[in-house]
Chain A
Amino acid sequence: MPLEALAPIDEAEADREFLYTLNFGPQHPATHTTLRLILTLDGETIVKAVPDIGYLHSGFEKLGEDLDYNQYVTVVDRMNYISPVANECAWHHTVEKLLGIEITPRCKYIRTILAELARISDHLLCVGAAALDLGGLTAFLYAFNEREKVYNIIESASGQRFHPSYTRVGGLMNDITDDFVTQVRNFAKSFAKAHSDVVRLLNKNKIFIDRTKGVGVLSKADAINTSCSGPVARASGVVRDLRKDEPYLAYPDLQGAFKVVCATGGDCLSRYLVRMDEMLESAKIIAAAVENIPAGPVNVSLDSKLVIPDKTATYRSIEGLIQHFELFMWNRRFETPVNEVYGAQETANGELGFYVVADGSGKPFRCRTRPPSFIHFGIFPQIMEGHQISDVPAVLGSLNIIAAELDR
């Protein structure tokens, strides 16, 4: 019986025999929320990383088609729940662009302050959690101490700490108080000290630097090609910040108060450093804005027929009562143009945009979110290849993946 020749052994294929598949998540301390990675390992080296997402998908965009322009703000809150006020500002920025409303100067300043507080709060969590995953608990505690102050400020403005739902079409839920101004002033003054505490703990920490420097490198060309924005793109050398490029809210007045922070390394350390310096710039913006809050109404005029009247107007005047009913009865609601618009703001994670299609009724026909976390997680397999398994928490922490925004 003739012997049959065996098929020649493919060396690349033979090597793969030794590869080991590791399931990372969806429940894992370093993923912080629910995201899953399927890692193909050669020893401890990652050959291939395949993200599997959608564990937290809750159909936010479908829900948005059933809620009106004011109601959807409560859902938007829950996208990036680390900096909810920034999401609210971006959502109502888009709606106001659609409706053609120019909000009052006072509202612009308050929203600017809140958006910057949200940026600080988001960056603090990202930096603190990144340090925590790499074994530094103290920086995390310092960061959370400051975040608590931000929550106090947001509570004094809106009455809610975590999901304030503070913005409304054409203005805010209510005006701020003197207590809010005092708290913001104190925060802007004391923040530099807390910031330097974290800096002294981490910036020259050998363990932290060894584990972040040169890890997860994203080149400038790749950052643009893969649609990255925000600190992730700026750490790779992309000079792009919507606050400077397309100034909105009070940023046209505050251009002198801050700089765009960029780095060229593109690794985890650069992303950490960019976030740290951005917080100082945000504190400068807050310090400048809080001293210049203009007087005047916080909402646009009732005559625009688009803004919810305050309770006094509702109960004490016939115009206010009619306006309240006009906005809250399901068969009335907003009158919108039959058109569509894209509006975006620079939030802590990057460009948060909304594409709203209006059909003339009170509810959006379609409200697409451009989620920065989703786009940043898309680069993860690419920047992870060839690294060690212990680099996974470092890279995840530096990209600041918020699963609620990732999956919506």
Chain B
Amino acid sequence: MSTTIEALTAALGAESLEISEFRDNRRVVVPAEKLHEALRILKNAVGFDFLCDVAGIDYLGYEGATDRYCVIYSLTNTTTGERLFVKSFANDPDPELPSACDLWAGANWMEREVYDMYGVNFTGHPDLRRILLPDEFTSFPLRKDYPLRGYGERHNFPTVTRAES
């Protein structure tokens, strides 16, 4: 168990990490400025070669939450089967986190989806565009302050006429 945590604490210092466990999930909260280094160590030195998932969460109004946007990198070691969830927080007005695309090619689309849904900017991402929603969309719909029924963006989409197309 602890070789992963030991390697992380040795490199980043114990005071910057916040480790918690629930059921069989082990989670590490890493400050945004150390996120990329932590992921690099986990990939290259500890052997978490498989980026399972990148999930965004908006903790607006969540009990006990101090930061708003959270991005979770779910890592898996394909040799040992060990899993680790690395969390990092970002806040308004400019939510920004370093991209993990240079470590795992699979991060590309998953980070684009987080950007699309939450507006978290991934610095160093090669192609940070909207992926599921149209480019003209102006909001980030999975944010908690976005209503279930939307702001009516669909009514304001530009339309292409036969002559222009």
Contacts and interface: CB of A to CB of B under 8 A. Distances in A.
Contacts of A17: none
Interface string B130-146: 11111000000110001
Given A54-B132, A365-B62, A374-B109, A224 B78 contact: yes
B25 A341 contact: yes
Contact of B105 (A63, A225, A238): A225
A351 B52 contact: yes
Given A59-B141, A62-B148, A353-B52, A341 B22 contact: yes
A382 B108 CA distance: 12
B86 interface: no
A371 B112 CA distance: 14
Nearest to B81: A245
Contacts of B117: 61
B23 A54 contact: no
Contacts of B49: 224-225
Contact of B55 (A59, A368, A408): A368
B133 A57 contact: yes
Contacts of B58: 366
A375 B109 contact: yes
B104 A342 contact: no
A141 to B, nearest CB: 35
Contacts of A408: 132
Nearest to B72: A355
Nearest to A225: B105
A161 interface: no
B160 to A, nearest CB: 14
A378 B78 contact: no
Give the residue among B85, B132, B142 with the most A Cβ atoms within 10 A. Answer: B132
A340 B109 contact: no
Given A238-B78, A341-B22, A365-B62, A53 B50 contact: no
Contacts of B83: 342
Give the residue among B24, B52, B133 with the most A Cβ atoms within 10 A. Answer: B52
A370 interface: yes
A203 interface: no
Interface in A392-408: 407-408
B74 interface: yes
Nearest to B150: A59
Please classify how large the interface on chain A is, using the bins under 10, 10 to 19, 20 to 34, 35 or more: 35 or more
A225 B106 contact: yes
Contacts of B78: 224, 238, 240
A59 B81 CA distance: 32
A226 B105 contact: yes
Contact of A370 (B52, B85, B141): B52
A175 interface: no
Interface in B14-55: 22-25, 49-53, 55
A360 interface: yes
Interface in B94-114: 104-110, 113
B50 A224 contact: yes
B57 interface: yes
Contact of A100 (B23, B74, B110): B23
B63 A375 contact: no
Contact of A359 (B53, B63, B105): B63
Contacts of B85: 342
Interface string A226-252: 111100000000101000011000000
B108 A370 contact: no
Nearest to A338: B63
A374 to B, nearest CB: 7
B21 to A, nearest CB: 10
A97 interface: yes
Interface in A330-377: 337-342, 344, 351, 353, 355, 357, 359-360, 365-366, 368, 370, 374-375, 377
Contact of B22 (A54, A63, A339): A339
A167 B102 CA distance: 40
B53 A407 contact: no
Interface in B78-92: 78, 81, 83, 85
Given A341-B23, A355-B74, A365-B62, A227 B106 contact: yes
Contacts of A366: 57-58
Give the residue among B57, B62, B106 with the most A Cβ atoms within 10 A. Answer: B106
Interface string B110-135: 10010001000000000000111110
Contacts of B63: 338, 359-360
Interface of A: 53-54, 57, 59, 61-63, 65-66, 97-98, 100, 222, 224-229, 238, 240, 245-246, 337-342, 344, 351, 353, 355, 357, 359-360, 365-366, 368, 370, 374-375, 377-378, 382, 407-408
29 contacts: A54-B131, A54-B133, A54-B134, A57-B133, A62-B146, A222-B105, A224-B78, A225-B49, A226-B104, A226-B106, A227-B51, A227-B52, A227-B106, A227-B107, A240-B50, A240-B78, A245-B81, A246-B81, A340-B22, A340-B25, A341-B25, A353-B52, A357-B57, A360-B63, A366-B57, A370-B53, A375-B106, A375-B110, A382-B105
